[in-house]
Amino acid sequence: MTTANSRARLAEIIRTRSFGRGEVTLASGRKSDFYFNLKPTMLDPEGAALLAELTYEALRAEQVDYVGGLEMGAVPLAGAIAQLSWLNGRPIAAFFVRKKPKEYGAKLAVEGLAKNESLKGKRVVIVEDVTTTGGSAIKAAEAVRESGAEIAMVLTMVDREEGAADSFAAAGLPFRSLYKASEFLNA
């Protein structure tokens, strides 16, 4: 399938499985009359494969070592991208950032790294399922920077176009999205 065909098919899956109308309160606290819940798309076999394919394509020109982001939205994305990158012979490892470090065990904020692994000096892409203001991705980026990594970019699957681009620019984080909310609202 061509990239354009993959993108069109994924948009159809998102529209069917993950997009809806009706008043909701977003993670940012804002009210909205539409929503994206990307979990049904991320956990659908075809949806997961297409998200990984299109994200991997978007990262192809970047020299990145790791991909990950804030739990829960980034976990299925990072895992699918890591698997596809391995199958394509250009491995990109995955991790995730806890919203709050566990109070037991290793008490880590960044999970998924082996004992001898570190993000220090590594180029990392923060992935997110849906972005509104950018607060969740910025929180993940801060934790990753504290680990010594360089943030190559923040890449979201759907940008709600409600201020994230400005937030990321102010934080010095390059930002890209696979889709914009207007693509679904105006369809």
Q: Does 18 show up as a binding residue in the annotation?
A: no
Q: Does 133 show up as a binding residue in the annotation?
A: yes
Q: Does 102 show up as a binding residue in the annotation?
A: yes
- Residue corresponding to tokens 């075809």: 46
d(CA 133, CA 136): 8
Q: Does 31 show up as a binding residue in the annotation?
A: no
Q: Does 135 show up as a binding residue in the annotation?
A: yes
By DSSP bridging, strand 19-25 and strand 150-159 are unpaired
152 φ, ψ (degrees, to nearest 5): -75, -40
Q: Does 12 show up as a binding residue in the annotation?
A: no
Q: Does 122 show up as a binding residue in the annotation?
A: no
Q: Does 180 show up as a binding residue in the annotation?
A: no
Q: Does 156 show up as a binding residue in the annotation?
A: no
13 φ, ψ (degrees, to nearest 5): -65, -45
Q: Does 60 show up as a binding residue in the annotation?
A: no
Q: Does 131 show up as a binding residue in the annotation?
A: yes
Q: Does 129 show up as a binding residue in the annotation?
A: yes
Pick left, alpha or beta for residue 163 (phi over 0 → left; psi -120 to 50 → alpha; otherwise beta).
left
- Length of the chain in terms of residues written: 187
Q: Does 17 show up as a binding residue in the annotation?
A: no
d(CA 163, CA 100): 25
CA atoms within 13 A on the CB side of 141: 22
Point out the annotated binding site for 5-phospho-alpha-D-ribose 1-diphosphate. 98-99, 102, 128-136
Point out the annotated binding site for orotate. 132, 160
Point out the annotated binding site. 98-99, 102, 128-136, 160
